[in-house]
Structure 1
Amino acid sequence: MVVLFAARRHRAWRLALAAWMACLWATSAALVPVAQADTARPPAVNAKAAVVYDVTDRKVLYDKRGDEPMYPASTTKLMTAILLVQHLKPDDPVYISETASRQPRVRLGLRPGTELTAEQALLALVMKSANDVAYGIAETIGGSQEGFARMMNVEARLIGCTHTRFVTPNGLHADAHTTSAKDIALITAKAITYPRIVRAMQTPQATIAGRTIRNGNRLLYSPPPSIGEFIGGKTGFTSRAMYCLATAVRRPSDGHVLVSVVFGAPRKSLMYRETIRLLTWANRLSPPESPAS
């Protein structure tokens, strides 16, 4: 009787051990695809639109309403910066007219008749997002806001934009002034091919016409290592566009240049957080394998 009881207890213990081992194996096996899925799964984004664009491969990695025309706010100034460096040398003059000086804030606060060098204007445009300087650039290069807008739209088409219609040089609201997150990614990719623009994006502080300005892009000062090597970018805000941000980085694993664009974030802090989240995810993507030789 004692032997029989011991045998039954031994058999029950073996069955329990086998069941526990099976459960452990199943749990361990399930953990691997979950971890892989977490790495591959793109993050949730609360902004109205967002894209991540691999400039090196010319490939969109993430797309949330990326082709939908929206208000771009001051990310518009990326195109203004492109036309400035294409048409003006660093020491060429930029004139601030009466109309330019009356542009709504944010502005540098220059009096009519003030003359800046093109390099000073570029710094004020990119760092301060100065609306008066943007308007002065437009009048200096294009003769008028309307003439400059035509130049902006021609350049946008040459870059490959398909959902863009620019009306103002500074991104102040106009119902017809729209572009898409994907188009701004293409414009950002073009902008960073100009060293003058990149230098302005990476300048933390400058003095222009007796005014000391600081770069308004928070990512410049302490970019998280997870996003890659910070190249530059441009912020934007209007009450209609909400918070917008275009950011270019270099992925350490393969040197690819990535551009993220976030449009219509409800808060400035969320604009930065979602940009960091998108670029961190894009940096974790495995680089494509080289073909076997």
Structure 2
Amino acid sequence: MLPAAQAAKREGTNAKKASVSSDSKRKVAASVTKAPRAEKSVRGGRNVVATIRTNRNGKTIVAVQRKSVVRVAEPRLSYGQMAGLHTTQDALDLKSSAALVIDQDTREVLFSKNDHAVLPIASITKLMTGMLVTEAHLPMDELVTITQDDVDTEKGSSSRLRVGTTLARGELLHLALMSSENRAAHALGRTYPGGLATFVSMMNAKARILGMNDTRYVEPTGLSSQNQSSAQDLALLVNAASSNPTVRELTTSPNYQVEVGNRVLQYNTTNRLVKSPDWDIGVQKTGFINEAGQCLVMQTKIAGRKLIMVFLDSAGKFSRIADAERVRRWVEATHIMSPGLQTIAAQHIAGD
């Protein structure tokens, strides 16, 4: 092809491209004119979104945003779940992976499930904390101030008792046993004669005295998963706590108020069964951390019998209460039945 012809061809191609480009621009302009406030989003990658919109004057505005990435943590398994204890079947179909129900007077075992398994016990720890504080006969009207040392660095849990709050020792004991206040429990251990290390040592010594050979404490709140015990051992602890008048009174208190400066703080029990007319509870304590699951211990009277109940590592938020209710109904239904009828009743209750 001659140079002149080639030049002409290039000119025609360029003109065609220009025409197409102009046509595209006109179409875009027309689109903008027809929808002056249109908006659409365009993904520019996994975490980038570009929003294209036009203002009233037809000006196109492009805003590029990076989406924040929210990582949802996988639910942490409890020690009981990791050990496969939840696969254990029982006649009442309890959701607790370890449980024990005994007659307090005769020591007869009415129900047991993985009762020798050693597991974290969460705030059930505070029963031992309360017993030691009361048995030391420390002045309950002595003022104790919450310090930075009492702030939870284990789990990062919150508290309405701010650093600098000053309450009487008896008030802190009430909050620790009734509403499971962690800073209150830690302050009780920290201000024990000899300090926190001495207090923890005394906790373990008391456990040995009670025959709690599967039990170990490392701090007074239960926030640490290293505070561990078995249902068998905790039955011994509940039995001892039930003979302590102060612990009995405070653990079964439904609510309590404390004055902090110009504020009045209302606290409530962590165990709603305390307020139930269907229950006659002498001593109780709840507990929860992820490693321990939902826990509950009680001394109660059912069908004329004083019973000690221990439920560890229950799977759901309300399942420890449901387990206790199921056991109560079973005891009420079977206390005058023959062993064969007891089995039938248990199967019926498990099917509720």
> What is the CA distance between 1:42 and its match in structure 2?
4.8
Match of 1:126 in 2: 177
Match of 2:41 in 1: none
The structure in which a higher percent of residues are strand is: 2
Q: How does 1:108-187 map to 2 (within 5 A)?
A: 108-112=160-164, 114-141=165-192, 143-174=194-225, 176-187=226-237
C-alpha spacing 1:138/1:47, structure 2 compared with 1 (3 Å): same
> Structure 2: which amino acid aligns with 1:184?
L
TM, length-normalised to structure 1: 0.75
Q: Tell me how far apart the structure 2 counterparts of residues 129 and 83 of structure 1 sit (CA, whole Å).
A: 16
Query: The residue matched to 1:261 in structure 2 has which SS?
Result: strand
Q: How does 1:74-93 map to 2 (within 5 A)?
A: 74-87=123-136, 88-93=138-143
> What is the CA distance between 1:124 and its match in structure 2?
0.6
Q: Tell me how far apart the structure 2 counterparts of residues 190 and 196 of structure 1 sit (CA, whole Å).
A: 12
1:135-169 Cα distance to aligned partner (Å, 9 max, x none):
10111115443321111111111122121011111
Larger radius of gyration: 2
Larger RCO of the pair (alpha carbons < 8 Å, separation 6+): 1
Match of 2:85 in 1: none
> Structure 2: which amino acid aligns with 1:266?
A
Q: Does residue 253 of structure 2 align to residue 203 of structure 1? A: yes
Q: Is the 8 A contact 2:146 2:161 kept in 1?
A: no
> Structure 1: which amino acid aligns with 2:159?
R
> What is the CA distance between 1:92 and its match in structure 2?
3.5
Match of 1:23 in 2: none
TM, length-normalised to structure 2: 0.63
Match of 1:261 in 2: 310
1:235-254 Cα distance to aligned partner (Å, 9 max, x none):
1111111111112211343x
1:167-205 Cα distance to aligned partner (Å, 9 max, x none):
11110123x321111211211121121221122122222
Gaps of 5+ in 1: 1-40, 289-293
Q: Tell me how far apart the structure 2 counterparts of residues 281 and 146 of structure 1 sit (CA, whole Å).
A: 43
Q: Is the 8 A contact 2:302 2:328 kept in 1?
A: no
> What is the CA distance between 1:122 and its match in structure 2?
1.6
C-alpha spacing 1:102/1:171, structure 2 compared with 1 (3 Å): closer
Q: Is the 8 A contact 1:52 1:61 kept in 2?
A: yes
Match of 2:280 in 1: 229
Query: The residue matched to 2:120 in structure 1 has which SS?
Result: coil
Q: Tell me how far apart the structure 2 counterparts of residues 285 and 142 of structure 1 sit (CA, whole Å).
A: 49
Indicate the RMSD between aligned Cα atoms, in angstroms. Answer: 2.2
Q: Is the 8 A contact 1:241 1:264 kept in 2?
A: yes
1:82-119 Cα distance to aligned partner (Å, 9 max, x none):
1111112432344423211455425342323x432222
Q: Tell me how far apart the structure 2 counterparts of residues 94 and 85 of structure 1 sit (CA, whole Å).
A: 15
Match of 1:32 in 2: none
Query: The residue matched to 1:48 in structure 2 has which SS?
Result: strand
Q: Does residue 146 of structure 2 align to residue 96 of structure 1? A: yes
The structure in which a higher percent of residues are helix is: 1
Match of 2:58 in 1: none
Q: How does 1:58-73 map to 2 (within 5 A)?
A: 58-73=107-122
Give the fraction of aligned pairs with identical amino acids, expressed as a percent: 28
Q: Tell me how far apart the structure 2 counterparts of residues 149 and 68 of structure 1 sit (CA, whole Å).
A: 23
> What is the CA distance between 1:283 and its match in structure 2?
4.0
Q: Is the 8 A contact 1:75 1:171 kept in 2?
A: yes
